[in-house]
């Protein structure tokens, strides 16, 4: 049987069989290409803030879930469902990164499935939907959204986002039964997408494109049915903006007027469009090549020209080439918030931003290939088919090669340094990566290079001071902490560490107290600042002030066993044995294998005549063996 006859026989299979096989193929190919992501570990880039140092996700109960939904800013964003999903992972896996990566991969596979069904709803047959789902599943630009635990919000919101589209398409079908149920379901799914990532606010805009694609005549009904969606989107945008501002992430190139940042956006749009076809120069971090006060390169002003041509072509073909216009418009709308026209963050572009937007380009590609399939010349069709096949293989290979870059902080930041050897951020980030065993020479070299490139980064001076402390070079560390505080007086960690040097090495308790005051004033929720100020007050015999600071430290971090031990020991010295025992019990709950917790509780119980002190002492000795 010739190959064209084989393809013809496949097209004769029942539609249900074609759908099952196409869907299975898309899922299997995606899994085989993306499965190495399960080998990746934690990164020192948001993973600590989201999970490893975030008590909000360490407990899965009514109180913690309520906190997720009532805290307006969580790592600069409001995304309670994302935090809930991370808390669920932590409940089962604790700090085992495998479980978190597994969840990311499963959500990605779910999105591949939903893309398959969405493409079918938009008019593609099972085989074209399969091809589109595979492109979505294995595209190298989507590695970042799958291989990085902190991008859980991307794969999670996309699942709700795609489900919302499917519900809307069902709602607008002429033969839909109980359409109001589909409409209500769409609103709920959209709300879930917003609670996973605020960027979902673009959904109602994209629904107008769905209306255009489905040839729904424009009417007031089309507008009114989207009013609840715009209302939800508006509230989410307001909360998201507050979160971004409170986290100081909207600060990159805000010195430029809007008419200039539009050209930055046009440049970025060209890059994202080009990387759909040729995903080259992949990097976890693409820094701004310039900052406020530096003139934008002249050629940026030329980058809008291709989009003027594209916009003109879309207007000309809006009736005859409806699906092509829909796909390109979908890409433009979904990509719009990420183009840095309203600047935020340190990166000028990021590959994860294409996760949803590339759906539009996938539609464009599939429609174009369908039209190629209508050509009469077989040679041309086969040539295009071979090119597409080679393109898919090339993307699969590139994705497999790029996934190990995200293995840990060392591989990630080393890759960024190779791409951008003259940007300070990657050197600082690699220096902060906790390798086992540590490599102090490289850490020092990275910090020196960071300060050489940008001497105004307080965090670099702080990290170098910590390195000097490790070498017991106290005076040099003191000077570098002071330099860090000159650059950033709100760097509470530097104030605490300088205060400790004053207290422990210079016997300057008054000066240490000033530093601890500076720390808690700069960061009122910095528990370690209160703990150390409490120690200073205790040394200076200011018992009420010490008690107040210990209480505040424990209030901020009730799970912290160290804080519980310090306050418990203080309470024991004040003959408050019951309260001390409660603190030591809480410390045992947080660190059940630490013998010091049992030994201290034994002291508290013995001092009040509780015979259980011997059990605690025996347990401490058992753990010390």
CB count in 10 Å sphere of residue 419: 15
Write down the pLDDT at residue 291.
65
CB 148 within 8 A of CB 187: no
DSSP 109-173: HHHHHHHHHHHHHTT--HHHHHHHHHHHHH-GGGHHHHH-GGGHHHHHHHHHHHHHHHHHHHHT-
Share of the chain above pLDDT 90, in %: 62
pTM confidence score: 0.88
Lowest mean pLDDT among 224-238, 425-439, 611-625: 425-439
Highest mean pLDDT among 166-175, 177-186, 332-341, 457-466: 457-466
CB count in 10 Å sphere of residue 2: 7
Nearest to 340 by CA among 424, 438, 418, 271: 271
Is a pLDDT exceeding 80 seen at residue 116?
A: yes
Is a pLDDT exceeding 80 seen at residue 581?
A: yes
What sign does the CA torsion over 111, 113, 114, 116 have? positive
What is the average pLDDT across 304-331? Answer: 89
Is a pLDDT exceeding 80 seen at residue 378?
A: no
What is the average pLDDT across 345-362? Answer: 92
How far apart are the C-alpha atoms of 132 and 124, rounded to whole Å? 9
Write down the pLDDT at residue 578.
92
Nearest to 423 by CA among 460, 467, 398, 463: 460
CB 400 within 8 A of CB 29: no
Contacts of 189 (CB under 8 A, 6+ apart): 160, 163, 164, 167
Is a pLDDT exceeding 90 seen at residue 87?
A: yes
Is a pLDDT exceeding 60 seen at residue 542?
A: yes
State the chain's mean pLDDT as an integer.
Answer: 89
pLDDT in tens, 388-400: 999 999 999 999 9
What is the average pLDDT across 127-150? Answer: 95
- DSSP assigned state of 50: I
CA distances from 224 to 206, 220, 231, 571, 583 (A): 15, 6, 11, 63, 57
DSSP 314-330: HHHTTTTTHHHHHHHHH
Task: Tell me the backbone φ, ψ of residue 61, rounded to 5 degrees.
Answer: -150, 180
What is the average pLDDT across 39-67? Answer: 88
Is a pLDDT exceeding 50 seen at residue 476?
A: yes
Write down the pLDDT at residue 252.
46
Predicted confidence band of residue 523 (pLDDT cuts 50, 70, 90): very high
Is a pLDDT exceeding 80 seen at residue 254?
A: no
What is the average pLDDT across 375-380? Answer: 72
Is a pLDDT exceeding 90 seen at residue 371?
A: no
Buried b (16+ CB within 10 A) or exposed e, 22-34: bbebbbebbbebb
Is a pLDDT exceeding 60 seen at residue 1?
A: no
What is the average pLDDT across 529-542? Answer: 93
Predicted confidence band of residue 435 (pLDDT cuts 50, 70, 90): low
Write down the pLDDT at residue 5.
53
How far apart are the C-alpha atoms of 13 and 296, rounded to whole Å? 57
- DSSP assigned state of 349: E
Predicted confidence band of residue 545 (pLDDT cuts 50, 70, 90): very high
Instruction: Give the position of tokens 């000028």.
Output: 348
Is a pLDDT exceeding 60 seen at residue 347?
A: yes
Write out the two tokens for 547. 């008690």
The residue with greater pLDDT, 156 or 127, is 156
pLDDT in tens, 271-299: 999 999 999 999 999 988 876 666 777 78
How far apart are the C-alpha atoms of 167 and 173, rounded to whole Å? 10
What is the average pLDDT across 62-70? Answer: 85
For the chain, what's the residue count? 625
Write out the two tokens for 600. 């201290």
Nearest to 568 by CA among 584, 556, 554: 584
């Amino acid at each position: 049987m010739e190959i064209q006859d084989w393809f013809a026989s496949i097209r004769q299979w029942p539609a249900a069989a074609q759908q099952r096989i196409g869907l299975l193929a898309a899922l299997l190919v995606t899994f085989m290409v993306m499965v190495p992501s399960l080998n990746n570990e934690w990164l020192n880039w948001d993973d600590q803030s989201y999970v490893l140092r975030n008590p909000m996700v360490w407990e899965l109960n009514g109180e913690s879930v309520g906190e997720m939904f009532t805290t307006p800013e969580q790592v600069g964003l409001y995304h309670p469902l994302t935090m809930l999903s991370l808390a669920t992972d932590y409940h089962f896996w604790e700090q085992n990164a495998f479980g978190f990566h597994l969840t990311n991969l499963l959500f990605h596979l779910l999105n591949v499935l939903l893309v398959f069904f969405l493409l079918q709803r938009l008019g593609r047959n099972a085989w074209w939907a399969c091809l589109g789902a595979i492109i979505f599943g294995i595209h190298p630009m989507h590695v970042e959204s799958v291989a990085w635990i902190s991008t859980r919000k991307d794969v999670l919101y996309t699942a709700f986002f795609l489900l919302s589209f499917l519900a809307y398409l069902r709602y607008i079908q002429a033969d839909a039964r109980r359409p109001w149920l589909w409409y209500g379901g769409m609103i709920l799914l959209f709300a879930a997408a917003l609670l996973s990532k605020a960027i979902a606010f673009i959904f109602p805009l994209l629904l107008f494109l769905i209306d255009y694609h489905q040839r729904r005549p424009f009417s007031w009904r089309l507008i009114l049915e989207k009013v609840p969606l715009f209302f939800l989107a508006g509230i989410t945008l307001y909360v998201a903006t507050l979160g971004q501002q409170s986290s100081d992430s909207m600060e990159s190139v805000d010195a430029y007027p809007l008419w200039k940042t539009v050209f930055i956006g046009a440049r970025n749009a060209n890059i994202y469009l080009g990387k759909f076809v040729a995903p080259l120069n992949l990097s976890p971090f693409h820094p701004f090549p310039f900052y406020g006060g530096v003139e934008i390169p002249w050629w940026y002003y030329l980058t809008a020209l291709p989009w003027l041509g594209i916009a003109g072509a879309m207007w000309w073909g809006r009736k005859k080439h409806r699906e092509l216009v829909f796909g390109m418009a979908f890409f433009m709308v979904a990509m719009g918030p990420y183009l840095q026209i309203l600047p935020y963050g340190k990166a000028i572009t990021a590959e994860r931003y294409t996760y949803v937007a590339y759906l539009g380009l996938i539609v464009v590609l599939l429609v174009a290939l369908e039209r190629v399939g209508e050509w009469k010349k077989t040679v041309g069709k086969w040539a295009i088919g071979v090119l597409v096949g080679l393109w898919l293989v090339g993307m699969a290979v590139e994705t497999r090669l790029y996934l190990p870059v995200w293995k840990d902080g060392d591989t990630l930041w080393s890759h960024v340094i190779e791409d951008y050897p003259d940007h300070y951020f990657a050197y600082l980030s690699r220096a902060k990566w906790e390798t086992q065993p540590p490599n102090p020479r490289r850490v020092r070299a990275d910090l020196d290079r960071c300060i050489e490139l940008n001497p105004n980064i307080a965090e670099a001076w702080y990290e170098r001071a910590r390195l000097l402390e490790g070498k017991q070079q106290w005076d040099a560390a003191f000077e570098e902490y002071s330099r860090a505080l000159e650059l950033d007086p709100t760097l509470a960690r530097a104030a605490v560490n300088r205060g400790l040097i004053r207290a422990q090495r210079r016997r300057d308790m008054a000066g240490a107290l000033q530093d601890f005051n500076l720390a808690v004033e700069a960061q009122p929720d910095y528990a370690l600042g209160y703990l150390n100020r409490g120690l200073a007050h205790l040394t200076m015999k200011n018992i009420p002030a010490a008690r107040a600071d210990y209480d505040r430290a424990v209030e901020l971090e009730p799970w912290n066993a160290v804080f519980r031990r310090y306050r418990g020991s203080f309470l024991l010295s004040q003959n408050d044995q019951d309260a001390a025992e409660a603190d030591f019990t809480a410390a045992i709950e947080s660190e059940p294998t630490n013998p010091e917790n049992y030994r201290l509780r034994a002291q508290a119980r013995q001092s009040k005549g509780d015979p259980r002190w011997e059990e605690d002492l025996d347990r401490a000795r058992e753990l010390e063996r």
